[in-house]
Chain A
Amino acid sequence: MSIQYKTISELRSMLDAKKISSKEIVEETFNLIERNSDLNAFITLNKDAAIAKSIEIENSSVKSSLHGIPIAQKDLFCTKDLRTTCGSNILSNFIPPYSATVIENLENAGCISVGKTNMDEFAMGSSNETSFFGGVVNPWGDKLVPGGSSGGSASAVAAGIVPAATGTDTGGSIRQPASLCGITGLKPTYGRISRWGMIAFASSLDQAGPMARTAEDCAIMLNEMCSHDTKDTTSLSEDIPDFTKELNASIKGLKIGIVKEFDMSKLDDNVVSIFEESKKHYESLGAEFVEVSLPNISLSVPAYYVVAPAECSSNLSRFDGVKFGQRSENPINLEELYIKTRSEGFGDEVKRRILIGSYVLSAGFYDAYYKKAQQVRRLIKNDFDSAFKEVDVIMSPTTRGAAFKAGSKGSDPIQMYLEDLFTIPANLAGLPAMSIPNGMVDNKPIGLQLIGNFLDEKRILQVAHSFQKSTDWHLKTPEGNKLS
């Protein structure tokens, strides 16, 4: 029995009805991975352990929400005794001695980790082209990028290999690939999910989240991913609600904010018209639209490209060839050990960001760049705070356009950075945001972004679910699209 394109909820009822065993599900999953190897969605597979766990699970009486459900894990989460590379050469031989809290939470809920998904190196990229292990293909079309940095997770879910995968989002790394691959992805409030065991890119922006076919599955995943973790002092102690409850709540009277300053003229016309259709649809569901002003939003990308590189330049200093990871061949002295190891171990995009980070933090530039950017960041957060006094959620397109061909962005990094125009603000302000499929542009999916208020994941999940109950964009699959 095929499990391709099935959701968590569908697999759950198949399992409960004994239509299929978790062992069969896992074996079928690895067949799907095999058949879709051209996607290059996985860096490391976890086959033996996965099958072993599926058998163990069949014999156990406990029935937790993800019992026997195959999940793909972004290769940025440390997995005990399973290679974790972060898409980089410098960690291409790294076997963590411990597991990330998110991984433990999901596996304790019974999920079966089938493998580690491909990603932009250290999550730095928007097309998955910076991975040391090669680019990932978007199942919606040959040579199309899946977006990034969680490109492997998005591609694996879009191809129906797994019902859900983990991702991380520092400037859009869950939402942008979700949009380009036609799936649903959620970046929670900063601090909802523990960062323990997540290899840091930009610590004050990084947040893990679920990527799945539906908002409902994202809610199921989120329930298990969140926890109060004493190992991460930025992990929130606020109550964690059951995100699957009240998913069906009506959105009649809901106030949706449209950002005055988001410049639609830079967008693909189809994206604009699809966005307008989605607005109409929400109006038909009883929501009303209000224009809100985020005066400093246009500075999000520049602020981000100071703060993120600054933090990354420091976070990546530990990769020095001394204690773990790769070391360059017989260095003649310590300096050469450092320089060769890091120059051989990191790709160009990572180098660019480390260099920018060192620059904006270096003597004489700190105030002009780093401090300035963090001040602008507060202005942006203040803008959101006042906007959310007037509206319940803020809506925008997730991306400027649909998936593009690998290499088509040219060599100018800024063109790539602007991919994250709509997604970056939520990271700077620490707000929850998700992307749901809301249309197609020449047979390629695009997404709609919903930004919620602090800790208000429940609301955006309701808003997303109400859309998915009454549309079928999220049900479309790339079958037969591959050669287009």
Chain B
Amino acid sequence: MSWQTVIGLEIHVQLSTKSKLFSGGSTGFGAEPNTHVDLIDMGLPGVLPVANKEAFLKAIRFGLATNAVINQTSTFDRKNYFYPDLPKGYQITQMALPIVGEGSIKIEVDGVEKIINITRAHLEEDAGKSIHDLFEGETGVDLNRAGTPLLEIVSEPEISNAKEAVAYFKAIRQLVTFLDICDGNMAQGSMRCDVNVSIKKRDDEKLGTRAEIKNINSFKFIERAINHEVERQTRIIESGGSVVQETRLYDSVKNETRSMRSKEEANDYRYFPCPDLLPVVITDEELSLVKDNLPELPDQKEKRYIADNSLDAAEAKIIASSKTMASMFEEACLKTDDSKLVANWLVGDVSALLNKDGIDIDESRLTPSNFAKMVERISDNTISGKIAKSVLEDIWDSGSDVDEIIQDKGLVQIQDESLLEEIGQKIIDTNPNQVEAFKNGKDKLFGFFVGQVMKETQGKANPKSVNEILRKLLS
């Protein structure tokens, strides 16, 4: 019996505004507990929310980038439930009329492209943090995060396996970082997702009962949680049981999902229009202003790199895939006309190092500016390409500045013609037989002399001048 998996993702993207969605509280990460809390975030008696326009404009950027319907009039509703880190006893969200309507995004799995449709993307306020394991018998509540603007992106149930789910999450992350509306930092919880999983017989029309796995914040865990959940549901159904609709939690240590009793109870959220907030309207002017200032997206960059920088398709794809990689390329190209060279470094040595460490470019110590400076030093002949490799490895480990590395290790290329001539002459004098053989037509031996000079200069000699000098001396 073959089962078909049906997956839908709800991705919570923390919008990178300075202040909260409904208050002047700071959204800064990592502050001392309860220090970024405004009267409004506390839900004190008598306080009222005032919507932050910037959150709407950032949401609209996402909408435009996914060819979505933009609702220029959107409204807020209250979702009522009790939880210690939900100060008002309700969350303000957009149920009836979200700022962003239906859209879609392209994903790619093993070279196969697929369009995933997006049902809606709505604004809502984040809750605070409950710390369950810090105090004996008590849960601590930190409201710093309470009220932080989230964009909840809801996909259609069109994702058919864990790989696609991860590809979709990665595509969304790539998009929001390029759009500069979220820092994409998953470790800090800037992106989290709830996964809805159900299974059904291939030919069944209606979907099976779904389980919702809450709050997953890493690619790895999304894949594992889904695979585990699919197995669990298959086991249940094949043993004649039936899946219950419930909220589950993924335990990354035990690699299993388990039921979340605490969330099960409050399942009647009694949504109703928030009487404190009138409809928010985005004018045509505001909308077109966002349109006109939409940042360049990966596909556009890819095309431009091929057209203007004469990269080949494969190179362009790799470089345009990450915002950091792309800015490394673009910054470096300002320092040299040889964009092909820049691409080679990124696709070659840099990518190799990434694969070796199995990390993402954002996790490496290499910064766009430092990389650009390295390229500059190559093109102004301060260092040779060979030396540059060791410099790159040095940056990789230490993160130090290129020029410091060159200074400290004395890697500056020898340009001094007379010195190089001296060394060349010495090599010739000490290797009469090779000179003999070369002059009798053994051209291959030229490389030997170059190698000797390089050895003598620990590779610091400018290869171009070495060639010229040796030709002269050996003629």
A residues with a Cβ closer than 8 A to B are 77-78, 84, 86, 91, 94, 96-98, 100, 195-200, 202-204, 230-234, 310-311, 313-314, 316-320, 322-324, 334, 338, 358, 361-363, 366, 370
- If the complex has contacts A98-B39, A317-B90, are A78 and B82 also in contact, measured as CB distance less than 8 A? no
Residues of B within 8 A of A322 (CB): 84, 87, 141
| Cα-based distance from A338 to B262 in the complex (angstroms) | 14
Residues of A within 8 A of B45 (CB): 78, 84, 86, 91, 94, 96, 199-200, 318-319, 324
Q: Which residue of A lies closest to B272 (CB)?
A: A361
Residues of A within 8 A of B47 (CB): 196-197
Interface pair B51/A317, CB less than 8 Å apart: no
Which listed residue, A78, A197, A234, A323, touches B43 by the CB 8 Å rule?
Answer: A323
Q: Which residue of B lies closest to A324 (CB)?
A: B44
Q: Shortest distance in angstroms between A113's beta carbon and chain B's nearest beta carbon?
A: 16
Interface pair B44/A97, CB less than 8 Å apart: yes
**Interface flag for B275 (CB, 8 Å):** yes
| Cα-based distance from A204 to B278 in the complex (angstroms) | 10
Interface pair B46/A203, CB less than 8 Å apart: no
Interface pair B43/A318, CB less than 8 Å apart: yes
Interface pair B46/A318, CB less than 8 Å apart: no
Which listed residue, A232, A313, A323, A338, touches B82 by the CB 8 Å rule?
Answer: A338
Question: Which label, helix, strand, loop or mixed, suits the secondary structure of the B interface?
Answer: loop
| Cα-based distance from A359 to B42 in the complex (angstroms) | 27
| Cα-based distance from A84 to B47 in the complex (angstroms) | 14
Residues of A within 8 A of B90 (CB): 314, 317
**Interface flag for B50 (CB, 8 Å):** yes
| Cα-based distance from A234 to B273 in the complex (angstroms) | 14
**Interface flag for B277 (CB, 8 Å):** yes
Which listed residue, B84, B87, B268, touches A318 by the CB 8 Å rule?
Answer: B87
Residues of B within 8 A of A84 (CB): 45
**Interface flag for B276 (CB, 8 Å):** yes
B residues with a Cβ closer than 8 A to A are 39, 42-51, 78, 80, 82, 84, 87-90, 139, 141, 268, 270-272, 275-278
| Cα-based distance from A198 to B45 in the complex (angstroms) | 8
Residues of B within 8 A of A320 (CB): 82, 89
Identify 19 new A-B residue pairs, CB closer than 8 A, beyond the known A199-B46, A313-B270, A317-B80.
Answer: A78-B45, A78-B46, A94-B45, A96-B46, A98-B39, A195-B48, A196-B46, A197-B47, A203-B275, A231-B50, A233-B276, A234-B276, A314-B80, A314-B89, A317-B90, A323-B42, A324-B45, A361-B80, A370-B272
Q: Shortest distance in angstroms between B216's beta carbon and chain A's nearest beta carbon?
A: 24
Interface pair B87/A196, CB less than 8 Å apart: no
Residues of A within 8 A of B46 (CB): 77-78, 96, 100, 195-200
- If the complex has contacts A97-B39, A196-B48, A362-B268, are A233 and B87 also in contact, measured as CB distance less than 8 A? no
Interface pair B272/A314, CB less than 8 Å apart: yes
| Cα-based distance from A338 to B51 in the complex (angstroms) | 29
Which listed residue, A202, A233, A358, touches B278 by the CB 8 Å rule?
Answer: A233
| Cα-based distance from A196 to B271 in the complex (angstroms) | 23
Residues of B within 8 A of A318 (CB): 43, 45, 87-89
Interface pair B48/A231, CB less than 8 Å apart: yes
- If the complex has contacts A317-B90, A318-B43, A366-B272, are A334 and B48 also in contact, measured as CB distance less than 8 A? no
Smallest CB-CB A-B distances: 4 pairs: A317-B89, A361-B270, A203-B275, A204-B275
Interface pair B88/A358, CB less than 8 Å apart: no
Interface pair B89/A232, CB less than 8 Å apart: no
Residues of A within 8 A of B271 (CB): 361, 366
Interface pair A363/B88, CB less than 8 Å apart: no
Residues of A within 8 A of B88 (CB): 317-318
Residues of A within 8 A of B276 (CB): 200, 203, 233-234
| Cα-based distance from A59 to B77 in the complex (angstroms) | 50
Q: Which residue of A lies closest to B45 (CB)?
A: A199
| Cα-based distance from A317 to B139 in the complex (angstroms) | 20
- If the complex has contacts A230-B50, A318-B45, A362-B270, are A311 and B275 also in contact, measured as CB distance less than 8 A? yes
In the assembled complex, 16 residue pairs joining A and B whose CB atoms fall closer than 8 Å, in A order, are A77-B46, A96-B46, A195-B46, A202-B275, A203-B276, A230-B50, A233-B276, A233-B277, A234-B276, A318-B88, A320-B82, A322-B87, A361-B272, A362-B268, A366-B272, A370-B272
| Cα-based distance from A457 to B263 in the complex (angstroms) | 49
Q: Shortest distance in angstroms between A444's beta carbon and chain B's nearest beta carbon?
A: 34
Q: Which residue of A lies closest to B40 (CB)?
A: A231
Interface pair B42/A310, CB less than 8 Å apart: no
Which of A84, A94, A234 has the most chain B CB atoms inside 10 A of its CB? A234
| Cα-based distance from A230 to B268 in the complex (angstroms) | 34
Q: Shortest distance in angstroms between A194's beta carbon and chain B's nearest beta carbon?
A: 9
Interface pair A334/B84, CB less than 8 Å apart: yes
Residues of B within 8 A of A230 (CB): 50
| Cα-based distance from A196 to B89 in the complex (angstroms) | 19
Residues of B within 8 A of A77 (CB): 46
Q: Shortest distance in angstroms between B30's beta carbon and chain A's nearest beta carbon?
A: 22
| Cα-based distance from A290 to B80 in the complex (angstroms) | 46
| Cα-based distance from A131 to B78 in the complex (angstroms) | 28
| Cα-based distance from A366 to B268 in the complex (angstroms) | 11
Residues of B within 8 A of A334 (CB): 84, 139
| Cα-based distance from A136 to B275 in the complex (angstroms) | 31
| Cα-based distance from A146 to B43 in the complex (angstroms) | 32
Interface pair B43/A314, CB less than 8 Å apart: no
Q: Shortest distance in angstroms between B201's beta carbon and chain A's nearest beta carbon?
A: 30
Q: Shortest distance in angstroms between A327's beta carbon and chain B's nearest beta carbon?
A: 12
| Cα-based distance from A96 to B275 in the complex (angstroms) | 23
Which listed residue, A78, A233, A313, A319, touches B51 by the CB 8 Å rule?
Answer: A233
Q: Shortest distance in angstroms between B137's beta carbon and chain A's nearest beta carbon?
A: 10
Q: Shortest distance in angstroms between A208's beta carbon and chain B's nearest beta carbon?
A: 11
Residues of B within 8 A of A195 (CB): 46, 48
Residues of A within 8 A of B42 (CB): 323-324
